[in-house]
Structure 1
Amino acid sequence: MSSIKIRTKQEDGLTTVRMLITHPMETGRRWDDLAGRTIPAHFIREVKIEHNQRLVASCELSTAISRDPYISVRFRGGKTGDKIRVTWADNLGNTDSAESTIG
């Protein structure tokens, strides 16, 4: 199951892509009392949004973003039935992607 939930909306020639990504987004500065050490950094570095295999947005994230980030992007040129693909990569080398169609 994907960690990404995608919703799309078309209005006045603009396509809005909203995504919710399930990810812990650890800064590497939080203390774990049980383990007696800091929790290692684990955060999304990059998010890419593609429309019909054309990159429409690329976001670089850092430890400043909270757990389970919500991202919204608007662009022109989308049509009903077109493919949207969202991909992320984190600092530990993990990746995920999800596809949706514009509704």
Structure 2
Amino acid sequence: MGPYSIKTYYWCEAQHPLTSSLPPSVSLLQKTHSSPVTCHATGFYPSGVMVFWQKDGPDHHEDVEYGETLPNKDGTFQKNTHQWSSGKATINVWFSSQLV
């Protein structure tokens, strides 16, 4: 590769410092028994993440609020989902590591 390719590579690196995928860090939060359970996924790159709530096997969408995927200051992303109904649930976080 010639100097042009190397210069282009450094330019791309400066514009997009995250050149490899990063999986999300996931936590569950609840302030009180009457407040929703929040699934907080953060620190992932690229932005492709899906959060599914399940109750007794099938996906559960009732009383679930899906937040937007938002950027973090370091170039990674975060997403919150809130489940308002009580009872046990399984939370599945699917992360696409495909860089476009």
Q: TM-score over 0.5 for the alignment?
A: no
TM-score of the two chains, using structure 1 as the length reference: 0.43
In terms of fraction of residues, the more strand-rich structure is: 1
- Counting helix residues as a fraction of each chain, which structure ranks higher? 2
